[in-house]
Structure 1
Amino acid sequence: MNAEHSRPGVVVVGGGHAGLQAAESLRTEGYEGPVTVVVDDPHPPYQRPPLSKDYLGGQDAAPLPLRGPRFAEEHRICLRTGVSATGIDRQRRTVHLDTGEEVPYTHLVLATGAANRRLTCPGAELDGVHGLRTLADAQRLNAELAAARRVVVVGAGFIGLEFAAGARARGLTVTVLEFAPRPMGRAVSPVTGDWFAQAHMASGVDLRLGEGIDRCEGTGRVEAVVSSTGDRYPADLVVVGIGVVPNTALADDAGLEVDNGVVVDASLRTSDPAVLAVGDCASFPSVHAGIRSRLESVQNATDQARHAARTILGRSADYTDLPWFWSQQGPWKLQIAGLYRAGDHTVVRGDPTAGKFSVYCFRDRALVAVESINRPADHMAARKLINGQVPLTPAQAADPALDLKAVAHAATIAA
């Protein structure tokens, strides 16, 4: 660490989308002090979404970097890869590293992300049982895919279904176990979840809903999975996608408020105003969900990081950015604007039988979310409609004769 970065400045813990964006935004917003980014992953920061999509689909074995090779130098950022933050001394405002160093800060940004929820059943430790979140996870899994013939995926969330679609494209036999009654149940409406269930089954995925995992069997290496119903599924590989848990140990040990994430206010400050939290690890008051939320998306991570940089520079305001997500599952691109909540009224626009449609979600007569399958124009219009709080009725949303793109454009011009 050079002399400049030994002075107190902004320290960012985490080198994913949120961490790198926070560091970059500090510079673009005019911050001139030291910026240090601490990254426990030994690899230069890379994009995570392709790990369960193109990377495992065999399209390209090289991870996509988050920034160019000279990013840190050009932005005067001290990027410490392969180094872990082990503690925070809030009184002295220092971050302790596993190298024995202490890095002083004026402001600290926690962008620690989340970790895979671990499988705890008997046999979970067998070779061939994999999680999928980091480049190392993807490299290990990719190395074994070539010899695999039968794969069991535990969990039908975004990651599980993206992997299942990629495995089917490689000709593998794929079984997906999902304890819930429909896939992606926490993220999408029943209409969208049920459609994806049928689509994956039609592609050859053996999707077992309402069926969890009881144990993995094998001698040294996994050979089969036994489900909660007692059924046995032979497996050369098991991929676990049962959600994530926020990385809050640093915050917890430092005495910061933690509740399903590091608790922050609308400006993304923690219970200590000198410490902020962004991205997958942050629990924030969401105006779109109407409740405190913790979101796992690139958009939320980068938008919160930009917002945190402005807060540090004294330009704080409430974080109200519209959340949006996407998932590429084989030939089906799902794009979501806003947040569906159980009980929302839904209407369908387009033709589900053709695999091109959108689900419009209404709450208290207001449009709050749109889930689009292979309808990118609907998605872009939806973001404008929701952001602009444009009045729209369910009947209008379902009317194919009404040009919603034009409605959204007109509303944008009027604003």
Structure 2
Amino acid sequence: MTGLVVIGASYAGIQGALAARDAGYSETITVVADETWLPYQRPPLSKDFLAGAATEESLVLRDRAFFANKGIDLVVGVRAVDIDRRARKVGLAGHPELNFDKLLIGTGSRARRLALPGADLSGVLYLRTLQDAIDLRASLLDAAEIVIVGGGFIGLEVAASACKLGKKVTVLESAPRLLERAVSPTVSEFLLDVHLQHGVDIHLGETIVSIEGENGLVAAVQCGNGTKIRADLVLVGVGGLPNDQIARDTGLSCTNGITVDDHGRTSDPNIFAAGDCATHYNSFAQDWIRLESVQNAQDQAKAAGLAIAGSTGPYASVPRFWSDQYDAKLQIVGISRNFDDQALRGSIDDGQFSIFYYRQGKLIAVDSINRPGEQLAARRLIAGGISPTPDQVTDLSFDLKSLPKPANAARV
């Protein structure tokens, strides 16, 4: 029996399977995942879960009964090891291979590992999976001094969570500012101040050369400038790498992820990919890009699921991201890279503001701190190709929703 096989049970894999079924795909659907957990939410792992406000059970996306009602066979704790494109088979470790008519790869990404002395010591941790979060939460209980390598989203969210638990936290970031690749200097500076006010020690432009241990346990981090920082626990958050090896091994086109079109289709017309493992040409970035976000995983997988079912609905959603750090809720819509102008709406001092980014007079992205309403307006503006002037943005009396929406606007 052949049908749709999905490799990976995170947001992309599950959404793709559901989208195909809901669009009328009537053949068998089998989702294979190497983790033993039911599909779960990942964003809370660095926040509510570490703080004890969420449990393994509360993170579950859907229970087994839901998948059974949808006619989706969920196979957990089984790793897909290879793909035979000619025979249309997926090899599984320790289990019979699966035949497929269509295949969706939603294998996500993995944490980039440190390659330096001491990186294999006990107490050097990463955060990508639920098991990672369980291990980190348990380790935090006994740790007093935490060193976080990397001032990106994961590093800063864990820093905030650890700080709330009363830990002494140090963040080491090699770039000259926090979240350098994601936000503008203004937002970086604001978040730096927020963390400093909560007692986090942040070192910018700082590299590490080794991690030192005692009796096999992490004890300190040696910095490139000669400084040694004590640590009971080291959390590494230096980015992610796409889990695309299974696609590379079978000859699919891959460049920093599996190359897909706007329907999630790979270089093989019967194989699709979506989420963190896939790279696509994004009209809002005006470039090939691999996005690691829940929004991208779900919307890209919806497009793939529709195509698998023989329907249409290309991926054209405006990219969105978010991060919660203490009481600061950062929301991002669009891709701000290569902006040449910006406008501020609201008050930085009050901790409620948005920054609108322009390229050649066109609005391309908006970062917001504690102004969710403007994010909704920004999604509509960017999707519709509508660009309020900087003067209109800075004028709080001007209603951004009053600008007309073109008939051919993209989905928000």
Query: CA–CA distance in 2 between the matches of 1:137 and 1:184?
Result: 22
Q: Which residue of 2 aligns with 1:259?
A: 255
1:302 is aligned to 2:298 = yes
Give the SS at the match of 2:276.
Answer: helix
Q: Which residue of 2 aligns with 1:101?
A: 96
Query: CA–CA distance in 1 between the matches of 2:170 and 2:352?
Result: 25
Q: Which residue of 1 aligns with 2:210?
A: 215
1:200 Cα offset (Å):
1.1
Query: CA–CA distance in 2 between the matches of 1:184 and 1:67?
Result: 32
1:412 Cα offset (Å):
7.7
Query: CA–CA distance in 2 between the matches of 1:182 and 1:175?
Result: 15
1:238 is aligned to 2:234 = yes
Q: Is the 8 A contact 2:264 2:301 kept in 1?
A: no
Q: Which residue of 2 aligns with 1:4?
A: none
Calculate the TM-score normalised by the size of structure 2.
0.96
Among 346, 351, 373, the residue aligned to 1:350: 346
Q: Which residue of 2 aligns with 1:333?
A: 329
Query: CA–CA distance in 2 between the matches of 1:373 and 1:72?
Result: 37
Q: Which residue of 2 aligns with 1:228?
A: 224
Query: CA–CA distance in 1 between the matches of 2:329 and 2:69?
Result: 35
Structure 1 residues 287 and 413: alpha-carbon distance in aligned structure 2, compared to 1, 3 A threshold:
closer
Query: CA–CA distance in 2 between the matches of 1:407 and 1:193?
Result: 30
Query: CA–CA distance in 2 between the matches of 1:391 and 1:181?
Result: 31
1:194 Cα offset (Å):
1.9
After superposition, residues 68-107 of structure 1 pair within 5 angstroms as 68-107=63-102
Query: CA–CA distance in 1 between the matches of 2:408 and 2:20?
Result: 32
Aligned residues: 407
Unpaired stretches in structure 2, ≥5 consecutive residues: none
1:313 Cα offset (Å):
2.2
Q: Is the 8 A contact 1:285 1:292 kept in 2?
A: yes
Among 214, 223, 244, the residue aligned to 1:248: 244
Q: Deviations over 1:322-374 (max 9, x none)?
A: 11011011111001111110343211111011111001011121111110001
Q: Deviations over 1:92-130 (max 9, x none)?
A: 011110124111111110101000000111111111110
Give the SS at the match of 2:91.
Answer: strand
Among 134, 150, 161, the residue aligned to 1:155: 150
Q: Deviations over 1:278-324 (max 9, x none)?
A: 00000101000000000000000000111001111223454211110
Query: CA–CA distance in 2 between the matches of 1:222 and 1:175?
Result: 15
Q: Is the 8 A contact 1:384 1:412 kept in 2?
A: no
1:131 is aligned to 2:126 = yes
Q: Which residue of 2 aligns with 1:402?
A: 398
Structure 1 residues 343 and 391: alpha-carbon distance in aligned structure 2, compared to 1, 3 A threshold:
closer
After superposition, residues 137-216 of structure 1 pair within 5 angstroms as 137-216=132-211
Q: Which residue of 2 aligns with 1:11?
A: 5
Among 48, 65, 71, the residue aligned to 1:54: 48
Structure 1 residues 342 and 391: alpha-carbon distance in aligned structure 2, compared to 1, 3 A threshold:
closer
Q: Is the 8 A contact 1:334 1:373 kept in 2?
A: yes
| One-letter identity of the residue aligned with 1:245 | L
Query: CA–CA distance in 2 between the matches of 1:342 and 1:215?
Result: 34
Calculate the TM-score normalised by the size of structure 1.
0.95
Q: Which residue of 2 aligns with 1:29?
A: 23
1:136 Cα offset (Å):
0.7
Query: CA–CA distance in 1 between the matches of 2:407 and 2:240?
Result: 40
After superposition, residues 354-365 of structure 1 pair within 5 angstroms as 354-365=350-361
Structure 1 residues 315 and 413: alpha-carbon distance in aligned structure 2, compared to 1, 3 A threshold:
closer
| One-letter identity of the residue aligned with 1:130 | L
Query: CA–CA distance in 2 between the matches of 1:225 and 1:160?
Result: 16
Unpaired stretches in structure 1, ≥5 consecutive residues: 1-6
Q: Which residue of 1 aligns with 2:281?
A: 285
| One-letter identity of the residue aligned with 1:140 | D
Q: Is the 8 A contact 2:23 2:311 kept in 1?
A: no
1:142 Cα offset (Å):
0.7
Query: CA–CA distance in 1 between the matches of 2:153 and 2:107?
Result: 21
More deviation, 317-326/210-219: 317-326
Q: Is the 8 A contact 1:189 1:342 kept in 2?
A: no
Q: Is the 8 A contact 2:262 2:303 kept in 1?
A: no
Query: CA–CA distance in 2 between the matches of 1:49 and 1:76?
Result: 27
1:59 Cα offset (Å):
1.6
Q: Which residue of 1 aligns with 2:112?
A: 117
Q: Which residue of 2 aligns with 1:274?
A: 270
1:403 Cα offset (Å):
1.8
CA RMSD of aligned residues (A): 1.5
1:178 Cα offset (Å):
0.3
Query: CA–CA distance in 1 between the matches of 2:360 and 2:123?
Result: 48
Give the SS at the match of 2:102.
Answer: strand
Query: CA–CA distance in 2 between the matches of 1:17 and 1:195?
Result: 31
